[in-house]
A and B are shown apart, each in its own frame.
Chain A
Amino acid sequence: MRLSLDASTLPALALGCSVFGTGGGGDPAIGLLMALQAVEDFGPVPLMGLDELPAEGLLMPCGMIGAPTVHIEKFENGEEGRRLRDEVERLWGRPVVALMCAELGGSNGLLPIAWSARMGLPLVDADGMGRAFPEVPQVTMHLAGISPSPGVMTDERGNLIVFRPLDGRWMERLARAAAVELGGSAASAEYCLTVAEAAGATVQGSLSRAIEVGRAVREAEHDPVEALVGAVGAFRLIEGKVSDVERRTTRGFVRGSVVIEGLAGDTGRLLRLEIQNENLIALEAGRMLASVPDLISVVDSETADAIATERVRYGQRVTVVAFPCDPIWRSPSGLEMVGPRAFGYDIDYVPVEELADATA
Chain B
Amino acid sequence: MPPLDHRIGVDVGGTNTDAVVLDRDDTLVAKAKVPTSPEVADGIGRAIGVALGESGIDRSRVTHLMLGTTHATNAVLERRNLQRVAVIRIGSPATHAVRPLFGWPADLRQAVSVGEAIVGGGIELDGRELAPFDHDGVARFLARVGERAEGVAIASVFAPVLPDHELMAEEVVRKELGDVPVSLSHRVGSIGLLERENATVLNAALGRVARDVIAALERSLSAHGLNPVTYFAQNDGTLMALDYALQYPVFTIGSGPANSIRGAAFLAGVDDALVVDVGGTSTDVGVVANGFPRESSQGVEIGGIRTNFRMPDLITLALGGGTVVAAGPDGRVQVGPQSVGYRLQEEALVFGGRTPTLTDAAVAGGRVRLGSKPLPENRRRVLTEALQRVDFMLADAVDRIKTSKGDRPLIAVGGGSVLIPEQIPGVSAITRPHDFDVANAIGAAIASVSGQVDRIFHLGAGGREAALREACEDATERAVAAGAELDTVSVVEMEEVPLAYLTTQAVRIRVKAAGSLGGL
Question: Which residues of A are interface residues toward B (Cβ below 8 A)?
Answer: 29-30, 33-34, 36-38, 66-70, 72-79, 114, 134, 156-158, 176-177, 180, 183-184, 241, 243, 249, 251-254, 277, 310-311, 313-317
Contacts and interface: CB of A to CB of B under 8 A. Distances in A.
A70 B125 contact: yes
A82 to B, nearest CB: 12
B402 A277 contact: no
B502 A74 contact: no
B54 to A, nearest CB: 41
B93 interface: yes
Given A37-B99, A74-B193, A66 B501 contact: yes
B97 A77 contact: yes
A253 B500 contact: yes
Interface in B289-333: 297-298, 306
Contacts of A79: 96
B103 interface: yes
Interface string B483-520: 00000000000000111111110101000000000000
B350 interface: no
A75 B193 contact: yes
B233 to A, nearest CB: 26
A77 B400 contact: no
Contacts of B94: 74-77, 156-157
B405 interface: yes
Contacts of A70: 125, 499, 502
B404 A314 contact: yes
A19 B404 CA distance: 27
A114 B97 contact: yes
B428 interface: no
A311 B497 CA distance: 12
Contacts of B503: 176-177, 180, 251-252
Given A37-B99, A277-B500, A315 B403 contact: yes
Nearest to B501: A67
A74 B191 CA distance: 10
Given A78-B97, A184-B502, 17 more contacts: A33-B102, A33-B103, A36-B102, A69-B456, A74-B94, A74-B122, A75-B98, A134-B501, A156-B94, A184-B124, A184-B504, A249-B499, A252-B501, A252-B502, A254-B498, A315-B399, A315-B402
Nearest to B161: A73
Given A72-B193, A74-B125, A314-B404, A34 B500 contact: no
B293 to A, nearest CB: 15
A69 B403 contact: no
Q: Which of A30, A38, A183, A253 has the most C-beta atoms of chain B within 10 angstroms of its own C-beta?
A: A183
A347 B298 CA distance: 35
Given A37-B97, A114-B97, A315 B401 contact: yes
Contacts of B404: 314
B158 interface: yes
A72 B498 CA distance: 15
B7 to A, nearest CB: 36
B391 to A, nearest CB: 18
